[in-house]
Amino acid sequence: MFIDHWGSWLLLILFISALIYTLIVVKEEKTTFLENAKPMSFHEYSFHYPSWWGLTLQEEKLLKWERTDTRYDWAAHFFYEENLNQEISIEEDFKNRIEEMKIVFDLEASDIRTPEDFKNRESFKSGELEIVRIEGTATQAGIERRYLDAFLVRNHREQSCLFATSLSSVLNGLVEGPYFEEMMFSLKLK
């Protein structure tokens, strides 16, 4: 049977080999991320981002990354804002920004973090930075299923904030999400 269908068997073996190679490459991305991460500064912040992300937009108050080597429905954005109105709480400000994106989270599949959850992280111990986060599946504009990981970072010293989002289709968010999270936790003041 093998001899009669050797071409089909060869194609199957090549296909399985390509899948194994892809799995190895994806696994290696996780272990080499920090070694190959690119350093970057944006206003008063410094951080590292994955080397395979393409910086597709760089303006004075906006950065955008995409996977340019794939067709992922995924993008990460950094929005910078000065002269921050600190009369409202960071939680209320964050809620307003999420509502502007027309995002409604699935509460049972979301993880919400308040400033208290980040007090022990090195970058936030000084109290100059305050951070909130929400991560999970959601519906955007009432019709599109999305995966959103969003952070709002307030810099009390500079009276500014950084609103960072990783927005994608549900499956693609699970691929890039851990790297986005690591990038945000590497955030430091210059």
Domain ranges of the chain: 1-35, 37-189
* Phi, psi angle pair for 92, to nearest 5°: -65, -40
DSSP code of 88? S
The pLDDT-based confidence of 78 (bands split at 50, 70, 90) is very high
pLDDT digits (tens, 9 = 90+) for 126-181: 778 899 999 999 999 888 899 999 999 999 888 899 999 999 988 776 778 888 98
pTM given for the model: 0.80
Looking at domain 37-189, what is its CATH homologous superfamily? Mog1/PsbP, alpha/beta/alpha sandwich (3.40.1000.10)
The least confident of 47-56, 83-92, 171-180 is 171-180
Choose among 130, 132, 148, 60: nearest CA to 94. 132
Choose among 124, 94, 95: nearest CA to 185. 124
